[in-house]
Structure 1
Amino acid sequence: MLKTLLRVTIETLLPSQCLACTEPASGPGQLCGACFAGLDFITAPFCSHCGLPLAEPAPLCTSCDWAPPAFRAARAAFRYGPVAKRIVLPFKYADRPEAAGGLARLLLRPGADLLASADLLVPVPLHRRRLASRGYNQAGELARALGRLAEKPVAIDALIRTRATRALAELDQHDRELALRGAIAIRPGRESVVAGKSILLIDDILTSCITASTCADILYRTGAAAVDVLALARVADAETRDAD
Structure 2
Amino acid sequence: MVETDDKALRARMPDGLRRSLEAVLHTVFPPRCICCGEAVSSDFGLCGPCWREAHFITGCACDACGAPLPGTDGEVVLCDECLTAPRPWVRGRAAFLYAGTGRQLVLAFKYADRLDLVQPLGDMLARTAAPLIAPGMVVAPVPLHRLRLVKRMYNQSALLAQNTARRLRLPCLPDLFERKRATLSQEGLSRAAREANLAGAIRLRPKYAAKIRGRPLLIIDDVMTSGATLAACAEAALAAGASQVSVAVLARVAKDG
- Shorter-chain-normalised TM-score: which range? 0.7 to 0.9
The structure with more radius of gyration: 2
Equivalent residue pairs, number: 229
Structure 1 residue 44: Cα displacement: 3.2
Report what 2:184 is aligned to: 166
Report what 1:107 is aligned to: 125
Structure 1 residue 160: Cα displacement: 0.8
Report what 1:21 is aligned to: 36
Report what 2:21 is aligned to: none
Letter in 2 for 1:101: Q
Structure 1 residue 133: Cα displacement: 0.7
Residue 232, structure 1, aligned to residue 250, structure 2: yes
SS of the equivalent of 1:23 reads coil
Q: Name the stretch that deviates more: 111-120 or 168-177.
A: 111-120
Report what 2:49 is aligned to: 34
Report what 1:75 is aligned to: 93
RMSD between aligned alpha carbons?
2.1
C-alpha distance in structure 1 between counterparts of 2:241 and 2:143, whole Å = 19
SS of the equivalent of 1:217 reads helix
C-alpha distance in structure 2 between counterparts of 1:16 and 1:43, whole Å = 26
Q: Name the stretch that deviates more: 186-195 or 133-142.
A: 186-195
Q: Sort the Cα spacing of 1:189 and 1:150 in 2 relative to 1 into closer, same or farther, 3 A.
A: same
TM-score under structure 1 normalisation?
0.86
Q: Sort the Cα spacing of 1:135 and 1:28 in 2 relative to 1 into closer, same or farther, 3 A.
A: farther
Structure 1 gaps, min length 5: 1-10, 240-244
C-alpha distance in structure 1 between counterparts of 2:55 and 2:233, whole Å = 27
Q: Decide whether the 8 Å contact of 2:65 with 2:94 is kept in 1.
A: no
Structure 1 residue 186: Cα displacement: 0.9
Q: Decide whether the 8 Å contact of 1:69 with 1:210 is kept in 2.
A: no
SS of the equivalent of 1:86 reads helix
SS of the equivalent of 1:106 reads helix
Residue 47, structure 1, aligned to residue 65, structure 2: no
Structure 1 residue 219: Cα displacement: 0.3
The superposition leaves residues 189-210 of structure 1 with CA deviations (integer Å, 9 ceiling, x where unpaired) of 1111221111110111111111
Letter in 1 for 2:237: L
Report what 1:157 is aligned to: 175
Structure 1 residue 96: Cα displacement: 1.6
Report what 2:232 is aligned to: 214
Report what 2:207 is aligned to: 189
TM-score under structure 2 normalisation?
0.82
Structure 1 residue 116: Cα displacement: 4.7
Q: Name the stretch that deviates more: 152-161 or 48-57.
A: 48-57
C-alpha distance in structure 1 between counterparts of 2:214 and 2:116, whole Å = 32
SS of the equivalent of 1:168 reads coil
Identity %: 39
Residue 98, structure 1, aligned to residue 116, structure 2: yes
Report what 1:3 is aligned to: none
Q: Sort the Cα spacing of 1:26 and 1:123 in 2 relative to 1 into closer, same or farther, 3 A.
A: farther
Structure 2 gaps, min length 5: 1-24
C-alpha distance in structure 2 between counterparts of 1:158 and 1:48, whole Å = 25
C-alpha distance in structure 2 between counterparts of 1:160 and 1:206, whole Å = 19
Letter in 2 for 1:23: E
Q: Decide whether the 8 Å contact of 1:201 with 1:229 is kept in 2.
A: yes
C-alpha distance in structure 2 between counterparts of 1:203 and 1:227, whole Å = 13
